[in-house]
Structure 1
């Protein structure tokens, strides 16, 4: 028993050392994120229990968490978006994926927590360049100021309390719709107890052009919403869309595109009745 107790104490000490400092207040109302290192991964956290983002240190631009890959299923609509908007930097999983693989895309990111931006290099997020700009700001105001701008809008805006209130209103979702270019697509991570409320507001904002996918094995839902009809009538060309992606991006989304296509097929059937 004494030996087991000693091992447990050493493990707890090692966990604390890997976790780094506990969250503290940064800006008023914002907790300070911290980094937790594991054998293969680095995690961004606001508390000891939950990881906001996770990165393989030897493959920093790989989409490690399932829902992040599902969100990138929005590329089925348009595999080569010219402009991508991102609300919520976090550990930069999708930002790194887009910067690495979508070489013709310009990426604009907004993050409301300066502590998160301060950790971008720890998560191997590239420095700003001609294709990538990361700004500190309020996501609701930011998207409102960019009408008609984005072919793809990725929303994964969370703080230590969940989805912020400013990213939950009907006005906000209407601003997201208005920020999309013709035939633009939005993908949003809904990890919250009131996901149905968010989905209903999306449906009102996008005139029912919404697809929701449950994330197997997780509590997340991913909601896709779009303007107009980005896909031509008839069978959805999954293989053609995958072929437009670089091989390393294609390998991560080869199981995602068919899931999205099946969901879209169900919506088309329902509308045709």
Structure 2
């Protein structure tokens, strides 16, 4: 696997510097002010840092299996644990099976040097993701679009959510982000870009996401058109 998965601007470590992370933030179109965000896969912490800074009313729980990644959190400016933010060192699949967290948004971005671990893309795992969401909760899964198993994995997500999902190619077209909704049909839930961005902490964050949320909104009007 040679795709870039994380990059950090040292002067602004919370900024999103990789295209697919901007696409994953498309969940704001469905849940603009989530009370509890879950994330499986910390990596360089790009999404975790952005959400912590830009969504001050949201609590965030991150699950990371690799202790070496957790140990580097200070070097990557990942926030310390507090009342709003927590990193748990555990297997993400096991965590969902043992817990009933009721996330408003659940972000899945778990990869190792061989790609996406089988435990994080099985039918059982996506069923557990569905069970871990609150009513009208949203699952967000980053997948490699060019991987031969991509159609199978996207279909598993759709099956777990009764077909209530939509696939959005990231701008660089090597990643695809699948959004799936528990509750209302996801294609009928999309807010305007202004509504989706209203809860962010500052204009810099809104500026970073505005164009990509607009692109996602356009695509959702006709999912058959390649974004």
TM score, norm. by length of structure 2: 0.90
Equivalence for 2:150: 195
Higher relative contact order (CA 8 A, sep 6+): 2
1:221 aligns with 2:205: no
1:162 aligns with 2:115: yes
- CA 1:70–1:184 in 2, change beyond 3 Å: closer, same or farther? same
Cα distance in 2 for partners of 1:87, 1:259 equals 25
Cα distance in 1 for partners of 2:40, 2:190 equals 32
Cα distance in 2 for partners of 1:184, 1:139 equals 18
Q: Give SS of 1:160's match.
A: coil
Stretches of structure 1 lacking an aligned partner (at least 5 in a row) = 1-46, 268-273
Decide whether the 8 Å contact of 2:164 with 2:181 is kept in 1: yes
Equivalence for 2:200: 245
Q: Give SS of 1:197's match.
A: helix
RMSD: 2.1
Cα distance in 2 for partners of 1:261, 1:240 equals 12
Q: Give SS of 2:205's match.
A: helix
Cα distance in 1 for partners of 2:191, 2:25 equals 17
More moved, 65-74 vs 192-201: 192-201
Cα distance in 2 for partners of 1:205, 1:231 equals 14
Q: Give SS of 2:6's match.
A: strand
Residue-by-residue CA offset, 1:128-168 (whole Å, 9 max, x unaligned): 11111101111111122333610011110000000001011
Q: Give SS of 2:5's match.
A: strand
Equivalence for 2:35: 82
Residue-by-residue CA offset, 1:55-107 (whole Å, 9 max, x unaligned): 01111000000000100111111111000000000000000001111111110
- CA 1:129–1:234 in 2, change beyond 3 Å: closer, same or farther? closer
Equivalence for 1:114: 67
- CA shift, 1:232, in A, is 9.8
- CA 1:239–1:146 in 2, change beyond 3 Å: closer, same or farther? same
Cα distance in 2 for partners of 1:221, 1:232 equals 17
Cα distance in 2 for partners of 1:184, 1:105 equals 14
Decide whether the 8 Å contact of 2:33 with 2:58 is kept in 1: yes
Cα distance in 2 for partners of 1:102, 1:263 equals 25
Q: Give SS of 2:77's match.
A: coil
1:180 aligns with 2:133: yes
Equivalence for 1:126: 79
Equivalence for 1:206: 161
Decide whether the 8 Å contact of 1:74 with 1:152 is kept in 2: yes
Stretches of structure 2 lacking an aligned partner (at least 5 in a row) = none
- CA shift, 1:214, in A, is 1.2
More moved, 185-194 vs 144-153: 144-153
Q: How many residues align?
A: 221
Residue-by-residue CA offset, 1:5-37 (whole Å, 9 max, x unaligned): xxxxxxxxxxxxxxxxxxxxxxxxxxxxxxxxx
- CA shift, 1:198, in A, is 0.7
TM score, norm. by length of structure 1: 0.76
